[in-house]
Chains A and B, each alone.
Chain A
Amino acid sequence: MRHQLATFKLDDRLYGVDVARVQEALKMQAHTPVPHAPEAVAGLVNLRGQVVLMVDLRARLGRAPYGPEDEPMMMVVNIDGEPVSLLVDQVGDVLELDGDSFGPPPPTLEESLQEVVTGVYSLEEDLLLSLDVDLAAQV
């Protein structure tokens, strides 16, 4: 069994989500903040005429949210047929991975990641955390 994962970096860690769920990767765009929204909601962005929710994945994974000077990238994923934009540090390659290299999340993983990380692929020189994209996009 081989899996195709779209990867991205966040705080120097490598993450991956099912490539079939990824619609596109874009540079950060002007967005509208939403007062009183949960911290993980970065705002709303106009994606070719569609109003799309922007999720600050850093905040979602229990880290400090992006500041105004940061320039994250947008990874637009499909959640229940609607696009949601995940903010990540940098979008990486699509990797084809062998099911053999897949293992359960290590117990040492921070608590904030436990619920969204489905497992870990061990690459040659790195570990790749596989995310449940539905849970990650949920705020």
Chain B
Amino acid sequence: MDAMDEIVREFVVESYENLDQLDQDLVALESDSSSRALLSSVFRTIHTIKGTSGFLAFGNLESLTHVGENLLAELRDGKRVMTQLTADVLLKMVDSVRDLLGVIESTGTEGTIDTSAIVAEIQAVLDDPTGGAGTETAAPAEPVDEAAAEEAIEAAVAALHEDDEDDADDADDVDEAPEAEAEVEPVAEKPAAEKPAPKIGKKIVAKPDTAPAKPAAPAAPAAAAKPAEETKTTEETPVRSAAEQSIRVDVDVLDALMRHVGELVLARNAMTNLAADMDDPALVRASQRLSLIATELQQGVMKTRMQPIDHVWNKVPRMVRDISSALGRKVRLDMVGKDTELDRGVLEAIKDPLTHLIRNAIDHGIETPADRAKAGKPEQGVLGLRAYHQGGQVVIEIADDGKGIDPDVISAKAIEKGLKTAGQIESMSPQDILQLLFLPGFSTAEKVTNVSGRGVGMDVVKTKIDSIGGVVDVQSTPGTGTTWRLRIPLTLAIMPALTVECADEVFAIPQVNLLELLAIDDKLTGIDHVGDAPVYRLRGQLLPLVDLRDVLGRDKRESLEGAVITVLQADGGRFGLLVDKVRNTEEIVAKPIATAIKTIGLYAGATLLGDGSVTLILDIPAVARRALELTETQIDVHDEAALRGDTEQMLVVAVGEGRQLAMPLGAVTRLERLSAEVLETVGGATVMQYRDRITPVVDLAQMLGSGAAFREELAFIICTRGDRTVALVANEVVDIVDSTAEERSEVSGYGLLGSIVVKDKVTELLDLEAAVTQADAAFYEVEEHVFNQSEVAELIGAGKGA
């Protein structure tokens, strides 16, 4: 629908421009009626409007321009000379077109403007070979038309007699009746919705039964009804018309404007800073006002550079069609959020990555119809593009429902290509393994195709997205599909950033990388160590910590107390960057920096802060890579078991029938969402293949007597101890909560230890041991896996500095 509106809008703007020209041309024609060039120009304009309005299904506009075109064609071909009357009707036609455009612009439809009168007038001129001035010598252009017109006249007259009671007094006023008689003909021919009701002359047209006034277009029907008086639609409409509303501006002008606004923002920051120090209320007020205006100006200028993502997306359907037919895939394209606006610079930069990801999704993601049928999926795959704003950024998702990415294939490839060792892979979670796709020289296509798989794939996407300060990450479930997610700043010029202090120096962290801030209290709550490396327990996940002091080679921190953890997102991984202090959020303008500093590979640029000082902008992905070889950051939850504190974190899952179960998160190794099809039955026991192993499965609902869970997708709770693994099945994971032993009550049944209250809902406490031993009686007989020192170092690598 939106795309349609865009087309209509462009049509209106373009037509307005043409009509202005048309007015001039017609007036010039009166004095120089022989000018073929002028006539051709007028003809072309009307022809264009006719064509487009037909295409856009504006029936009235089409029929109006159609007769106008006929008249102009005769003029152009010399079958008729320009007379006063001809010029009059043509100008009236232009006015009517203008009125129609006005209504189309404001309502998106033609509204109820009745054009039959003017159509009739033009037709009358057309039918009168004398052209109303007796000088016409040319033969009538289309005898067929004439015959039809005659019938129409009769019809019109007949209709007039049938239905003229309330028209009578109006009709009396009409002295041009002969001229108007023929009007029914062209209208009657049109399938469009207008009524071929008899309307003679100009004044009757405005009758309420034929032209009920629409509140959306108050001035228009009346104006259309009285073209002779040349009433302008614009006379009391406060809204400017499309032609007045848009002008073309050189992009360079906008770029320069944006640069200046950037400078203004910095100057504003400086001013605010000064005013805060001066303690002069008048100055503070003035600076606040300045600040407000600068912000509005900045937003305004940014808006001028914004373009809907559709500018890039509109080429996608064709591309998808071509690629999928070339590869023998059936693909349905779903696009959501076409209106999402992006800075044109950013838009330009995401074009290639987007193209690549889409190609990739069809080539590597969506299977052939045969394979899909085999996998029990509909033959037609779905490629979904989604764009939306989130937290001052634009998120673009490219999702397919194809075969997904198999972490094992990625791992094997990475080892084969020597990008990672088997030992490194072993310690990586599936999510981390997917990130390997972004390593240079990685391509998983089994055969190189025309479309993708030349080994210059995802790393290029990543480099490109990095270069505009964006982040790309991927999520995939084998068998169900893959989602690529780009998080991109709204604009390149001005970005929000967090300023932090580290060893008395100030650095800026782009907001796009920032997830949250955590202060470390004096008890160092949540801080633990795996080996020497500090980690933070964040909602059940261990967050590796990196000290910015170490990264920058500054003095070691004496104590973590009082430090702040900035939780950062980089290339799909999360880590906590320790800083001394958080200062502020500030709008910063990235300034180019010398190559000598760029090559250090830690800074994305420099900016000026409010106090006039230069501050380096940290390149977070680079910091992450430098500090901890990001692919090894995420530590499995099972490390948690060794670190359990007083309050226990509980995993809450739903098992159907509104039942919720809680279990200690520490005992859980991993959570997965998998299709129910992975479940198999062997000798009466349910098992699944998990990481190439046959793993016993316990359906929690069944165990607790709630009936088996029948859902397409299930939550799998994987518990591993030594080399033994058991999977528990629930409907879905609800939450992870902190719970203390006192909160528990002792209402229990088989397989339960009691219950706790989670968010006002009674949640049963699962006897995990009972559940696990039901599947694998020997589970707890194995030695618990304990990390040795070297493994820990490999896992984390944090705190080593650069």
Contact = CB atoms under 8 A, between A and B. Distances in A.
Given A32-B615, A49-B267, A51-B592, 19 more contacts: A32-B506, A32-B616, A33-B505, A35-B505, A36-B602, A37-B597, A41-B596, A43-B614, A44-B614, A44-B616, A46-B608, A46-B612, A49-B263, A49-B608, A50-B591, A51-B606, A51-B614, A53-B597, A84-B594
A36 B266 contact: no
Contacts of A36: 552-553, 600, 602, 802
Q: Per DSSP, are chain B's interface residues mostly helix, strand or loop, or mixed?
A: mixed
A51 B607 CA distance: 7
B593 interface: yes
A34 B602 CA distance: 10
A82 B614 CA distance: 17
Interface of B: 263, 266-267, 505-506, 552-554, 591-594, 596-597, 600, 602-603, 606-608, 612-616, 802
Q: Per DSSP, are chain A's interface residues mostly helix, strand or loop, or mixed?
A: strand
Given A35-B554, A44-B616, A46-B614, A51 B608 contact: yes
Interface in A65-91: 82, 84
B590 to A, nearest CB: 10
Contact of A37 (B596, B607, B615): B596
Interface of A: 30-38, 41, 43-46, 49-51, 53, 82, 84, 138-139
Contacts of B266: 49
B553 to A, nearest CB: 6
B294 to A, nearest CB: 15
A37 B591 contact: no
A67 B614 CA distance: 20
B368 to A, nearest CB: 51
A32 B505 CA distance: 8
A38 B593 contact: no
A53 B597 CA distance: 9
Given A49-B608, A51-B606, A51-B608, A139 B596 contact: yes
A84 B596 CA distance: 12
- Interface pairs A-B: 8 shortest CB-CB: A35-B552, A53-B594, A32-B614, A44-B614, A51-B591, A51-B606, A139-B596, A36-B600
Contact of B593 (A45, A46, A51): A51
Contacts of A139: 594, 596
A6 to B, nearest CB: 22
Contact of A35 (B553, B591, B594, B608): B553
Contacts of A35: 505, 552-554, 602
Contacts of B267: 49
A32 B611 CA distance: 12
A41 B598 CA distance: 12
Nearest to B263: A49
A18 B777 CA distance: 86
A32 B499 CA distance: 14
9 contacts: A33-B505, A34-B603, A36-B553, A37-B600, A41-B596, A46-B608, A49-B266, A53-B597, A139-B594
Contacts of B263: 49
A43 B554 CA distance: 16
B553 A30 contact: no
Contacts of B506: 32
Contacts of B614: 31-32, 43-46, 51
Interface centre among B266, B506, B606 (most CB of A within 10 A): B606
B709 to A, nearest CB: 54
A44 to B, nearest CB: 4
Contacts of A34: 597, 600, 603, 616
B99 to A, nearest CB: 52
A46 B602 contact: no
A32 B613 contact: yes
Contact of B613 (A30, A38, A41, A82): A30
Contacts of B594: 53, 82, 84, 139
B314 to A, nearest CB: 39
Interface centre among A36, A38, A41, A138 (most CB of B within 10 A): A36
